[in-house]
Amino acid sequence: MPALVTVRLLGSPDILIDGEAPPPDLMWRKHQALCIALWTAPEFTRSRDQLIGLLWSDKTDRASRHSLNEALRVIRRAVGDDAIDTTGDFVRWIAPVALDITDFSALEADTPAAAAALVTGPFCDGLVVPGAQELDAWLAAERVRWQSRSVDVLVRAAGAAEDKGDVREARQLAERAVALNGLSERAAQTLIRAHWIAGDRGAALAAGEAYRARVDRELGLEIDERTATLLTRVSRERRPARPVGAPAVERRSPLIGRETVLGSLIEHWRKPAALAQARLLVVSGPAGSGRSRVLDELVARAVTSGVTVAMMRAVDADASNPDAAVLGLARAGLDGAPGIGGVPASALAVLTTQVPAWAERFRHASATTATTLRDAFAAVVTATAEERPLLLAIDDADRLNADELRWFAALLRTAGTAQVTLLLTARTGAGGDATDDLIRRAGRDIPGAAVRLAPLTAAELRGLVDWAVPDWSPESRDRLARRVSVESAGLPAIAVDVLQAVRNGLSLDANAAWPEPDQTLDQTLPGPLPEPLLASVRAEFRRLSTDAQAVLTVVAMLDEPCDPVSVGTVAQMGDAARRDAALDELEWQGWVVVDGRGYSFPARTKRRLIAREMLTPGQRRRLQERIAACS
């Protein structure tokens, strides 16, 4: 009975016979090429003339047929006498064979990730048979065909990984696609997008410029318009910059436990363009449940999809300002959005009196009729959404004025068929009736959806532990996962903070060493916090540069959001470049976030912790005096 032959062709050819390496004579290049020619033929059958033409066209007819027969004898000796049928003028492979290209063909349409796992390189990479020019031409054509199919599944698998929040996997798949075909615009766009969604704007731009250079060098052409447009969007969008000298490592945890939520939101967000319908998406959950992260993931995808995005992060002071969100979103770059030219002059004039950037851009706008600020903003939304889909994102919307939240719901109703999506996050039980009403109405009388984030399961927390300390033994990771589960109550923000510190050297059994004996610190916080969380924040704070530590304590003491000039003044950091470098470091490390209004803490607990624990009473008093002097 013939042996089972297992074959990999998507990469360097690899052949096993009943799980063992084949005999050396079967691996001679022409014998190997003969097998490959049969395995890739319809019904594993080729004519003798075809095979001779591919491999022995340089010989006489008699010599070439002898060589073919000798090669078939080698195959039968290695695989079995019944491996090959040579009846008549045709040669047919009949032994059982498991081919990666057969599995690939069965998987590529419906499960691209599984098909992509089979691709290890170009088709028959490295196979060269000297003197067989017809074989070389055939292999070249096959490599082009399989390259196209392989890049396609890699790109589609990367897109699927993006949609479920696995950006690391998406980036790896995109890099493999680019390695297969560096001139593929789809592969280049996928890699740019993956870097951007991962939060690395510099890497996204570098990938785009590398693609531009390859196209210029090898084709003498400009890059395609879609890739150029994507690069323009990425270059214009605000994103934390990697500090000089910082390693190019994964700085954010994988989105474990939130894949289904993100996928649902992406599905709803993509519907407006198809359905021409304004929509409301609400992400709710307790503090530390990862609401901001989910919002950031969706916003990052919107930017690279050609959507106009305006985002703001609400702070506690916004509750007393009935137009805080309108002004915050107006400051988020809408003045330069496509379609802004269609906004009535009266609406532009109102915004120029409220937002300096609008005053600079539309200095000649004058009001001819009385228009309220909200009506002016509604006109901007309508005009920009007619030109391109619009995403308005508000983090911590529960901090907003209740009347303004209700107005946004009314705005969506009046927007009607405009391609507008309002994306909100809200802390469960913190926003009062207005927030709860929006959550109830999303997906009911207002098109869209409301999702609530649940605590992470034990298995999901173990996944985070595997990411944080992959080199630990399974038993050690199990113990750490149980510890983190108890301390975090399944909240990813706490779990990730603790694990980030652990991967950087924090010992959870050494927390009692704080504060150090020679320091006097006020450690009283409004409400108990897990000691591992406190220890992790302290440990990560110490890892910051001296300038970043100084700037972070100032941001914690100032009213949010705070502008860079005020931060530099209070920190007594007159060098703007030095101040900005410190802010970039803090933003890159996730300590602070920024929108059109300024810098703020993404987590209120960390802000209180920095303000109360990382300053001595004397330092705190001096900062308060400087802040008062700047007011």
By DSSP bridging, strand 90-93 and strand 84-85 are antiparallel
Going by C-alpha positions, the residue among 20, 146, 4, 166 that lies closest to residue 82 is 4
Look up residue 54 and give its two tokens.
Answer: 């591919």
Own/partner contacts of 473-482, CB < 8 Å, gap of 24 or more, are 480/508
Residue 433 shares a structural domain with residue 412: yes
User: Does residue 328 contact residue 596 with C-beta atoms inside 8 Å?
Assistant: yes
Radius of gyration of the chain (CA): 31
Residue 506 shares a structural domain with residue 445: no
CATH number for the domain spanning 9: value is 1.10.10.10
Residue 423 shares a structural domain with residue 274: yes
Domain final residue pick, 452, 479, 503: 452
| Residue 99 CB coordination number (10 Å) | 18
Q: Give domain status of residue 132, yes or no.
A: no
CATH number for the domain spanning 264: value is 3.40.50.300
CA 49 from chain center: how many Å? 52
Residue 445 shares a structural domain with residue 473: no
Residue 410 shares a structural domain with residue 485: no
Residue 160 shares a structural domain with residue 28: no
Q: What is the pLDDT of residue 393?
A: 95
Q: What is the pLDDT of residue 589?
A: 84
Own/partner contacts of 534-538, CB < 8 Å, gap of 24 or more, are 534/609, 534/613, 535/501, 535/506, 535/508, 535/511, 536/497, 536/498, 536/500, 536/501, 536/502, 536/506, 537/497, 537/501, 537/606, 537/609, 537/610, 538/514, 538/613, 538/614
Place of tokens 């590398």: 210
Burial track 290-304 (b if 16+ CB lie within 10 A, e otherwise): bbbbbbbbbbbbbbb
Count of H-run helices and E-run strands, the chain: 28, 13
- Give residue-wise pLDDT tens across range 139-152: 999 999 999 999 99
Q: What is the pLDDT of residue 630?
A: 80
Q: What is the pLDDT of residue 514?
A: 34
Going by C-alpha positions, the residue among 291, 264, 358 that lies closest to residue 593 is 291
Place of tokens 């869209």: 448
Domain final residue pick, 404, 430, 452: 452
CATH number for the domain spanning 160: value is 1.25.40.10
Domain assignment of residue 593, given as a range: 462-630
Beta bridge pairs of residue 442: 446
Q: Give domain status of residue 438, yes or no.
A: yes
Q: Give domain status of residue 396, yes or no.
A: yes
Domain final residue pick, 203, 236, 269: 236
C-alpha dihedral (39, 40, 46, 48), degrees to nearest 10: -70
Structural domains counted in the chain: 4
Q: Give domain status of residue 93, yes or no.
A: yes
Measure the CA–CA gap between 257 and 1, rounded to whole angstroms.
Answer: 50
Q: Give domain status of residue 343, yes or no.
A: yes
**Residue 192 exposed, middle or buried by CB count within 10 Å (0-12, 13-18, 19+):** buried
Q: Give domain status of residue 141, yes or no.
A: no
Which residues of the chain register pLDDT less than 50?
510-527
Residue 417 shares a structural domain with residue 502: no
Look up residue 556 and give its two tokens.
Answer: 């914690």
The DSSP secondary-structure symbol of 622 reads H
Residue 264 shares a structural domain with residue 377: yes
Residue 495 shares a structural domain with residue 618: yes
Q: What is the pLDDT of residue 527?
A: 44
Measure the CA–CA gap between 246 and 543, rounded to whole angstroms.
Answer: 12
Q: Give domain status of residue 106, yes or no.
A: yes
Q: Give domain status of residue 128, yes or no.
A: no
Place of tokens 């010599």: 63
Measure the CA–CA gap between 66 and 160, rounded to whole angstroms.
Answer: 52
Q: What is the pLDDT of residue 369?
A: 60
Going by C-alpha positions, the residue among 471, 467, 464 that lies closest to residue 483 is 464
Whole-model pTM: value is 0.80
Residue 386 shares a structural domain with residue 367: yes
Residue 205 shares a structural domain with residue 268: no
Residue 85 shares a structural domain with residue 200: no
